[in-house]
Amino acid sequence: MSNIGSYEEKLKDFKWEISEKELEYTKGNRINIGEYCSDRICRMGKGDKLALIWQSHTGEIKKYTFNRMRVLTNAIAEYLKSLGINSGDRVCLFMDKVPELYFGFLGILKMGGIAQPLFSAFGGESLYTRLADAETKAIITQKKHVGKVRKILADLPKLERIIVVDEEEEEKLREKELYFSMDNATPVEHFDIFPSTAETPSVLHYTSGTTGKPKGAQHVHYSLISQYITAKYVLDLKDDDIYWCTADPGWVTGTSYGIIGPWANGVTQCVLDSGFKADSWYKFIEDHKVTIWYSAPTAIRSLMKEGNEVVKQFNLSSLRHLCSVGEPLNAEAVIWSKEVFGLAFHDTFWQTETGSMMICNYPGMKIKPGSMGKPFPGITATVVDLKTYQPIERAGIVGLIAIKPGWPSMFRTYWKNEEVYKSKFRNDWYICGDRASIDEEGYFWFVGRDDDVINTAGHLVGPFEIESALLEHEAVAESAVVGKPDPVNMEVVKAFITLKPGFMGSKELELKIMNFIRKKLSPLAMPQEIEFVDSLPKTRSGKIMRRLLRAKEWGEEIGDTSTLENDD
Ligand code: WT7
C-alpha cells in the first residue's frame, strides 16, 4: 500500500495540518529545517540509521548516520557563528556533490543563515551576478573551485569569508580564505539551534527569466510542511527505502528532494558525485540497492539511447518507484521504463518558485503517458486564459498554468525584487509561466513555456544572461539566443550573432565564442551552435524578435509577424 493510498480519497480530506501534525508542529512555534532533518530523526530513535551513502567519481564511499550528520551539522553551524556570521546572512554553497555540500546546507539553516546553493559548474560571471545580488557574506567551496571566487573577489565587497573544505596546505590559502575540514571537525553534541519560526528565511535559489538578471527565489523554513508530505506521498518514501535523487543541490530539486524531503522523513539517501554514464548509474543502483529513484527526462532519454542490453547486465530488482522532473517527460520514456524496469517513471511538475511538487502522477493512480498528472492534494491548480487570466472551463484548451497562492513552500519574494515577484500574480493566481491544457479527466498536459527561457537538460537558462555575456566578446556586435530542439536535452542553446567590422564568421571563431561562454557562465549556457548573420530581426522599437528565430529552429509556422512586431 502506498503512503498516499487513494489519490481521490486524499483529495477529499487533505489539509496541510496533516503534515504539521505528523511533524508535531503547531502554529507560532519554532520550525528549523536543519533540526527536523537531523536532531528530530535522532530523537525518534533513528540516530544509528544511515542518513547518507556517498560515492565519489573514483568509487570512494563514505557513510554517515543520522547522529553523525547531527553532530557534524552542529559543528558547521558553530563554526559559521564563530566567524561572525549572523542569522539572515547569506552563505553560499559552491561545491560538487560532496558530503560537505549536504551538511553545510543544514549547518547554515541550523545557525539561522540563508543557504544560497550555486551549481559548481558555474563560471565566474554567473557566480559573480548571484553573489553580488544576494550580498553574500560567506562562501563554502572546494579548492578546485576557489580560483573562480578569487577572480571576482575584488568586486564583491560584502564577501567576508571563503571557507575551503579540502585545502590541507594552509599556506596555499589567500586573502579571506579559511580551511575547515568537516570530517576532522570536533563533533558538537549540543548546539543552540536558531529559533526560526515559519516565516524565517531559509534558502535562496537563483533562477533565470527572460529579461534582467537571474532572480533569487526566497524560501522560508515553513516550506518543510510541503516538502515533507510531498516526499512522503509522491516519492512514496518509507522507512526502509534507499532513495537516490540524481539532481545537484545547486538546483531546487537537489535541495527540496535531495536534502529536505527525504531526511525530514528519516530516509537513507545515496549520492553519486559524478557525471552521467549509463553503466555506472545502473551499477550504483545495484550496489546500493536503490529502491526509489528521482531523476530527469534528459537522463532517462540518455539511458534509452544506451539501449536495453546494458540494463540486463545489472540486477535492478531493488527499484520499486520512479519519478521524474524538470522537463516534459515524453510518453515514449514512460513506456520504455515500464518495459525495461517494469516500472513507469512518474512525472512531477513544479518550479524553483513553488518549492515543492505541484502537479504529479501518484503511486496507484492511472498514468497517462505524456501527462504531468494532477494537482497535489492541497494544491488548487488550473489553466487560465492567455490574456484575461480567467480560468478556462473547457477541456483541451491551452492556457497558462496557474496555482492558488498559499501553499506552505511558495516562494515569499524574489530577493530585493518585489516588483517582479508581484508581476507573477494575476487575479489571485500565481502564474507559472508555462502553457498547458487539462483533459476531461483533470489530467494536465504540458505544452511549452510562455516565455523565451530555455530549458536545457532540465535546467533553465535565461537568454538575456547569455546575450549580455556574448556582447563582451570582442567580435560580437549583436546577439540573440534561443532554444533549438535536441533529442536528448530537449533544447540546447543556439546563438545568432552579427559581427563587428573586421571580423569574419568561421568555425574557429565559433569555437572561441562557445568556449568564452562556457568559462564565463557554464557548460549549460554555452551555445551548441552559432549562426553568424548579417542582421537580426527586430521590432519597430528595436527589440530583437527571439520568437521568430525560435520558430524557425522548431520548424513552426511564424504566422502573423505584425503581432510579433508589436510585442514589445
Ligand atoms: C520549469 C521550472 C522544479 C524542478 C526543476 C526545475 C519546467 C519542470 C516539468 C515537467 C514539463 C517541466 C517548466 C517549469 N518543468 N518540471 N514535469 N514537465 N516541464 O525547476 O529550474 O525552476 O524550472 O521547468 O517550464 O516552469 P526550475
Work out the average pLDDT over 288-295. 98
Residue nearest to atom 11 of ligand 1 (CA): 328
Q: What percent of the chain has pLDDT over 70?
A: 98
Looking at the fold, whether 216 and 90 belong to one and the same domain comes out as yes
Residue nearest to atom 17 of ligand 1 (CA): 349
Statement: residue 462 has pLDDT above 50: yes
- Separation of CA 212 and ligand 1 centre (Å): 20
Across 372-397, average pLDDT: 97
Q: 430 and 460, same structural domain?
A: no
Span from the CA of 182 to the centroid of ligand 1 (angstroms)? 33
Assess if residue 311 is contained within a domain.
yes
> Within a domain: residue 113?
yes
- Whether residue 560 is predicted with pLDDT greater than 60 in this model: the reply is no
> What mean pLDDT is reported for the chain?
95
Q: Are residues 472 and 402 in the same domain?
A: no
101 and 189 housed in the same domain: yes
> 60, 64, 70, 9: which is closest to 38 by C-alpha?
70
- pLDDT reading at 541 higher than 80: no
CATH number at residue 177: 3.40.50.12780
Same domain, 417 and 520: no
**Closest ligand 1 atom number to CA of residue 359:** 17
Q: How far away, in angstroms, is 200 Cα from ligand 1 center?
A: 26
Q: What pLDDT sits at residue 209?
A: 80
pLDDT for residue 161: 98
Tens digit of pLDDT for each residue in 182-235? 999 999 999 999 999 999 999 999 998 877 789 999 999 999 999 999 999 999
Same domain assignment for residues 380 and 484: no
Atom of ligand 1 nearest to the CA of 350: 3
Nearest-CA residue for atom 14 of ligand 1: 351
- Are 285 and 215 found together in one domain? yes
Atom of ligand 1 nearest to the CA of 449: 25
pLDDT at 492: 96
Q: Round to whole Å and give the CA distance between 545 and 496.
A: 11
Q: What number is the average pLDDT over the span 500-505?
A: 94
Alpha-carbon distance 269 to 64, whole Å? 10
Whether 449 is covered by a domain: the verdict is: no
pLDDT(393) > 70: yes
Counted domains in the chain: 2
Question: What distance in angstroms lies between residue 459's CA and the mean position of ligand 1's atoms?
Answer: 8
What's the pLDDT score for residue 567?
A: 42
Q: Are residues 419 and 316 in the same domain?
A: yes
Write out the DSSP string of 447-465.
Answer: EEESSS-EEETTEEE-HHH
Tell me the average pLDDT across 401-429: 97
pLDDT of residue 538: 85
Q: CB within 6 Å of ligand 1 — which residues?
A: 207, 251-253, 325-328, 347-352, 372, 432-434, 446, 449, 455, 460
Q: What is the pLDDT averaged over residues 335-339?
A: 96
Residue 562 has pLDDT above 70, yes or no: no
Same domain, yes or no: 231 and 127: yes
Q: In angstroms, what is the span from residue 79 Cα to ligand 1's centroid?
A: 36
pLDDT category, 561, cuts 50, 70, 90? low
Q: Are residues 504 and 431 in the same domain?
A: no
Q: What is the pLDDT of residues 9-24, one digit of tens each?
A: 999 999 999 999 999 9
Q: Is residue 446 part of a domain?
A: no
Among 435, 469, 498, the domain-final residue is 435
Query: Is 443 part of any domain?
Result: no
Average pLDDT, integer, range 537-561: 81
pLDDT digits (tens, 9 = 90+) for 233-269: 999 999 999 999 999 999 999 999 999 999 999 999 9
Q: By residue range, what is the domain housing residue 330?
A: 7-435
pLDDT in the model for residue 212? 79
Q: What pLDDT score was predicted for residue 566?
A: 38
pLDDT given at position 461: 92
- Predicted local confidence at residue 409, as pLDDT: 98
Tell the residue nearest (CA) to atom 24 of ligand 1.
326
In a domain, 568, yes or no: no
Question: If you average pLDDT over residues 382-388, what whole number do you get?
Answer: 97
- Does pLDDT of 378 surpass 70? yes
| Ligand 1 center from residue 98 Cα (angstroms) | 25
Distance from the alpha carbon of residue 315 to the mean position of ligand 1, in angstroms: 31
Q: Whole-prediction pTM value?
A: 0.94
**Contact (Cβ atoms closer than 8 angstroms) between residue 548 and residue 561:** yes
The answer to whether the CB of 113 falls within 8 A of the CB of 89 is yes
Q: Is residue 120 part of a domain?
A: yes
Query: Are 244 and 97 found together in one domain?
Result: yes
Domain stops at, among 435, 464, 488: 435
Domain containing 480 — which CATH number?
A: 3.30.300.30
CB distance 74 to 44 below 8 Å: no
Atom of ligand 1 minimally distant from the CA of 432: 26
For the segment 361-386, the average pLDDT, to the nearest whole number, is 97
Whether residues 285 and 366 fall in one domain: yes
> Which grid cell is 187?
563533533
DSSP string covering 216-258, please? Answer: EEEEEGGGHHHHHHHHHHTS---TT-EEEE-S-TTSHHHHIII
Q: What is the mean pLDDT of residues 133-145?
A: 98
Is 516 within a domain?
yes
